Structure 1
Amino acid sequence: MLKHTLSVLVEDEAGVLTRIAGLFARRGYNIESLAVGPAEQEGISRITMVVPGDDRTIEQLTKQLYKLINVLKVQDVTQVPCVERELMLIKVNANTSTRGEVMQLAQVFRARVVDISEDSLTLEVVGDPGKMVAIIQMLTKFGIREIARTGKIVLPRDSGVNTEYLKLLETIPSYS
């Protein structure tokens, strides 16, 4: 099932998030990722959520969202060229014999060491969701103690450049 990314602008009022979460819960839909924060205009917040579902389901949810008080705009940005980011803190086992290798991996992923102890490192990683999955896979062999991730946030690209399409082109061999 396709995961849709919805960007929802709401009036910054008490209870808005509760009403939105309740709408999803009553209909039996799961919100896989949720991030809320102030938008560009004072008194307005942007809610970014990742929701599994087909196009028809998402269309119905969008209509239901518009019926809620305080919802100003709902946009499905799944197929829109966007800048996507997440923040993750990840605590990994790292004793004196493995610390160097963990730090090298951190460098490759442009992660920052934000805490260090005798037997662990805590890294801060910022990037697209694929980067998060990749670094988790690479660090698993050392033993992951804890992970804290934000939800995905997105903004459409004004340039209209689809970086996912460009990545695909880079993998196709050129025979010129």
Structure 2
Amino acid sequence: MELNFKEIFTATMVLFAVIDIIGNIPIILSLRDKNGHIHSEKAAIVAAVVMIVFLFLGESILSLIGINVNEFAVAGAFILFFIALEMVLGVTLFKEDESSSDLAAIFPLAFPMLAGPGSLTTLLSLRAEYSLANVIAAIIVNIIIVYIVLKTSSRLQRFLGKNGIIVIRKVFGVILLAIAVKLFAENIQELFN
């Protein structure tokens, strides 16, 4: 398997937009306030393991329940579309339970914020388009970025400011919206062929 840097870059940007770690800084800060400390290493490792396991076993699990990758990708395109709408319009469509236990690094941070339905769906879609090695490299790059952002979230918030975070969130929301439309268009055609 040869690494293709264009594929790695594209897959990294897609995952980065879906994970939306910069846009989640306010949520990370509120979790940190509630729990005192978030284990950044644990959150990053758990998210990486969930994503890589799903990358390898996701298709088998889907076929076991009678769903093909194209059907899952179309469903995922809808999820990405709604996540993008949340980012662009500043509305909340998905409600998440709040956790005050010591497991904040795992739930809700590692799952479902980092390795949630959007990123898992995206991984299967990326696997259908790109080589497995390139998708794994994109996961690793994103986990490194996630870890850095988790470790420096307070400083990033001060540096970017509230408006900076809002602008970044909206820009990545538009990118994610375009990705959702592309994902839907490509896979809906495959369903009817």
TM-score category of the 2 structures, normalised to the smaller one: under 0.3
Q: TM-score, normalised by structure 1?
A: 0.25
Structure exhibiting the larger radius of gyration computed from Cα positions = 1
Structure with bigger RCO (C-alpha 8 Å, 6+ apart): 2
Q: TM-score, normalised by structure 2?
A: 0.24
Q: Which protein has the bigger strand share?
A: 1
